[in-house]
Chains A and B, each alone.
Chain A
């Protein structure tokens, strides 16, 4: 197994306070308070994971709970069982229905950068929609 494919686990009974950095993919099932930095690597917050921290990684998958802002270079995904209280910044975001989320989502790569609105959809409305009635 190459170094790149290793996944390190922080078990359910582990409680970490402070700054967590590394160059490997990481799965957290325990509790972490502070900061988590995994540049160019993937972070998974498992079903039992409870994170109160600022998070930066390449991708972040949340199945458990996170309180804190999340920044990812590639993608943030919140599963249906996931809970996030904080802001998410990533070029790709997936929020499953049923997930708990309170915060803001920003899909611009750089904070504060101007966005270019995409063109109006070419798809025409389909089917059974109700036409507008008279003004009340």
Chain B
């Protein structure tokens, strides 16, 4: 019999450990809802972007998903264009994943670290990898405490309980994208909801609409 960590066991074990990060756990109803929907599917395919949190990946895989992990290379701003000269080349944004593969993409705070002039490219890549009916879950800060930060790691303790952790990664410029810019960048997705939390983080859920 396969030894699969149960969601409840994982959460209880985390809560029982004295030094557990569960003490700083943050309820995340949006994630709970999107996971509940997605786990109705047989063997859903997930893509988790951002710094690896092994515990989260194993948690989701243990719940029955096939979980893909990719640390997307964040694009730099486009170089300035001089009058009369062609647009300077920039490295294309690319997720190394096939089209329409995923039922759920967890992008966490990825878009906050994408320059406004590259937001559309990143959004298009995420949309490309989602199946019709697939969902995207992400956070976007409304008022970040600093202009630069390292991309954080998210630890999933239970379907609706997460911990945000700072990583020792390189600090990068952090941007605040208005809702309308995010919605435009995610062209092809229907934004299901944007909720502002007390910590000034926007929780955004979108799904890929069918054609026709």
Verify that A and B bind, or say they do not.
Answer: yes
Interface residues of A (CB under 8 A from B): 78, 91-109, 112, 114-123, 125-136
CB-CB < 8 A to B197: which residues of A?
Answer: 130-133
Looking at the complex, which one of B7, B57, B159 makes contact with A95 (CB distance below 8 Å)? B57
Q: Given A102-B69, A102-B70, A107-B61, do A136 and B194 touch, yes or no (CB 8 Å)?
A: yes
A121 near B202: Cβ-Cβ < 8 Å? no
Could you tell me the distance between the alpha carbons of A43 and B4 in the complex, rounded to whole angstroms?
22
A106 near B61: Cβ-Cβ < 8 Å? yes
Could you tell me the distance between the alpha carbons of A99 and B52 in the complex, rounded to whole angstroms?
7
B8 near A123: Cβ-Cβ < 8 Å? yes
With A107-B61, A119-B8, A129-B25 already in contact, 4 other A-B pairs whose C-beta atoms are closer than 8 Å: A106-B66, A120-B36, A121-B6, A121-B11
Q: Given A131-B198, A132-B197, do A117 and B52 touch, yes or no (CB 8 Å)?
A: no
Interface residues of B (CB under 8 A from A): 2-4, 6-8, 10-12, 15, 22-29, 36, 39-40, 42-43, 52-55, 57-58, 61-71, 96, 153, 158-161, 179, 193-199, 201-202
CB-CB < 8 A to A122: which residues of B?
Answer: 8, 11-12
CB-CB < 8 A to A128: which residues of B?
Answer: 24, 26
Looking at the complex, which one of B57, B68, B158 makes contact with A121 (CB distance below 8 Å)? B158
Could you tell me the distance between the alpha carbons of A129 and B153 in the complex, rounded to whole angstroms?
17
B54 near A94: Cβ-Cβ < 8 Å? yes
User: 25 pairs across A/B with beta carbons < 8 Å?
Assistant: A93-B58, A95-B57, A96-B54, A97-B153, A99-B54, A103-B69, A107-B4, A112-B43, A115-B43, A119-B7, A120-B7, A121-B10, A121-B159, A122-B8, A122-B12, A126-B22, A127-B23, A127-B25, A129-B26, A130-B26, A130-B197, A130-B199, A133-B198, A135-B196, A136-B202
Give the distance to chain A from B205, nearest Cβ to Cβ, in Å. Answer: 12
Could you tell me the distance between the alpha carbons of A136 and B2 in the complex, rounded to whole angstroms?
44
Give the distance to chain B from A89, nearest Cβ to Cβ, in Å. Answer: 9
Could you tell me the distance between the alpha carbons of A101 and B163 in the complex, rounded to whole angstroms?
21
**Which B residue sits closest to A98, measured CB to CB?**
B52
Q: Given A107-B2, A132-B29, do A114 and B199 touch, yes or no (CB 8 Å)?
A: no
Could you tell me the distance between the alpha carbons of A119 and B62 in the complex, rounded to whole angstroms?
12
In order of increasing CB-CB distance, the 10 nearest A-B pairs are A95-B54, A115-B64, A125-B27, A130-B198, A129-B27, A123-B11, A129-B26, A91-B2, A121-B158, A121-B7
